[in-house]
Amino acid sequence: MILIADGGSTKADWIALNTNKKEEFRVRTLGLNPVVVEEEELHNRIINMFQLINIKDDVTEIHFYGAGCGTPKPTAVLKKVLETIFVNAKVFIAEDMLAAVYAATGKEPAIVCILGTGSNSCYFDGKHMEMVVPSLGYILMDEASGNYFGKKLIIDYYYKNMPKKIASKFENEFNLEADFIKNNIYKEANPNMYLATFAKFMFDFKDEKYIKRLIKKGFQEFFKYRILPYNKDESTKIYFIGSIAHYFSDILEKVASKYNLKITGVIQRPIDNLLEYHKENINL
């Protein structure tokens, strides 16, 4: 049995393949970002999914692609957790950016971007990924991500820059007490995931001018820091992965056109494409 997983900060999608490369089942756990989730909690989030535990001794390989797995220390923590649970498995861990590449373009050159709870980008030349800079995560970077927009909404609400009609609905949907917000950001686990929950509010008000301006500005920042520095021309394919890109694809395309670029494709959830890539490229 082989497990393939695409893990973001909010959730992780798992697919189990048998020896005939047939899908046995798929499940979703909470996010497994080892940068923001403690080792014990990573362990708990996996063992609490009974479908995974029921087959733990039968798993021979795990291909895990995850947020927070771009540097050695957090990757080592997650690898240890997986090896402790799946004792007979060889564990391969790579950052979620590589999963995005496999899901979007496979082996063809392209700029591939993630706009989910977090954000990132790379240029894939067909063999290797080139990144503008290493991602420093949700506090310092993550332009146009879910947590980026969550922060913007909270800031605009508190500084009274949010239109009154939208602010009223925002109040009804979330606990906006200062102590509650600060506790979730500074003391609770997964502050990036917490911030991203506010971004879901935008989906219901995507036709409002305020929301459109907010999204447009975020996308412009993303292009400025995460796409334009690759210095590629309009013939370069550009793919986006994630819910933010999916739900606001019309605004994304307009921003791209201002830079004489065109979006080749937007994929909301990469796990199905990632599955097909592995069926073609792994030996069972």
pLDDT digits (tens, 9 = 90+) for 175-212: 999 999 999 999 988 898 899 999 989 998 989 999 99
Fold for domain 106-267?
Nucleotidyltransferase; domain 5 (3.30.420)
pLDDT at 135 over 90: no
One-letter amino acid at 267 equals I
Q: Does domain 2-101+270-281 have CATH number 3.30.420.40?
A: yes
Question: Which tokens is 123 given?
Answer: 């240029």
Mean pLDDT, the chain, whole residue set: 93
Q: What is the mean pLDDT of residues 214-233?
A: 96
pLDDT digits (tens, 9 = 90+) for 43-90: 999 999 999 999 999 999 999 999 889 889 999 999 999 999 999 999
The reported pLDDT for the residue numbered 284 is: 55
| Token digits of residue 194 | 């917490």
Where do the CATH 3.30.420.40 domains begin and end in the chain? 2-101+270-281, 106-267
For residue 190, the model assigns a pLDDT of: 84
Number of Cβ atoms within 10 Å of the Cβ of 132: 15
pLDDT digits (tens, 9 = 90+) for 240-277: 999 999 999 999 999 999 999 999 999 988 888 888 88
Region of 104 please: left (phi>0), alpha (psi -120 to 50) or beta.
alpha
